[in-house]
A and B are shown apart, each in its own frame.
Chain A
Amino acid sequence: DTEVTQTPKHLVMGMTNKKSLKCEQHMGHRAMYWYKQKAKKPPELMFVYSYEKLSINESVPSRFSPECPNSSLLNLHLHALQPEDSALYLCASSPQGGTNEKLFFGSGTQLSVL
């Protein structure tokens, strides 16, 4: 199984809502990532978990809250988002972490904040 599964595929939420994005992989990878991608732009790194511990937080606003319940799962909790947070949110994983490994990406969650 070489897949990273993200749910939901699409999400529309109001600025007062709380929602969660989910990501799952069963490749035994120990590094998991959240990226944000605006249309026609490259992905922007948000968070990195390494061995279930948060290792990188790219100064992301606190309305985004990551969680890694175990080595296979990664969540992104969303609360009080702004319309400018509308984007494609991508989860990725790699065996150990580090830039000498290829990333395996999920198909993303297209988020619209109204």
Chain B
Amino acid sequence: SQQGEEDPQALSIQEGENATMNCSYKTSINNLQWYRQNSGRGLVHLILIRSNEREKHSGRLRVTLDTSKKSSSLLITASRAADTASYFCATDEYSNYQLIWGAGTKLIIKP
């Protein structure tokens, strides 16, 4: 099945630093979503950005979308230990009915 791409696969930073992770896709999308997953439990929705939007904010999260480069980035500012998790992007790249998931970025925040 199709799978989007994310990089980096893993990211380890000091608490208080900013974390940036990227998601790329191959064709065209209507929407792109970001989710967080703690320790192999359920995923939590963070932000949905539409193809006609370039940037969205939610608290310490900033998501950008560049449709010309077919990529999105998730920026977490002033990271905290509680941000330690895996982050997944998901798009509607090939279907209006199911999401195509990126491989995920594992973020570790060191105290």
Contacts and interface: CB of A to CB of B under 8 A. Distances in A.
Q: Are A and B genuine complex partners? A: yes
Interface of A: 4, 6, 37, 39-45, 48, 55-56, 58, 88, 90, 92, 97-100, 102-108, 110
Contacts of B1: 44, 58
A100 B92 contact: yes
A43 B101 contact: yes
B52 interface: no
Given A42-B102, A42-B104, A102-B45, A48 B97 contact: yes
A102 B42 contact: no
Interface of B: 1, 3, 30-31, 33, 35, 40-45, 48, 50, 88, 91-92, 95-99, 101-104, 106
Contacts of A110: 40
Contacts of A108: 40-42
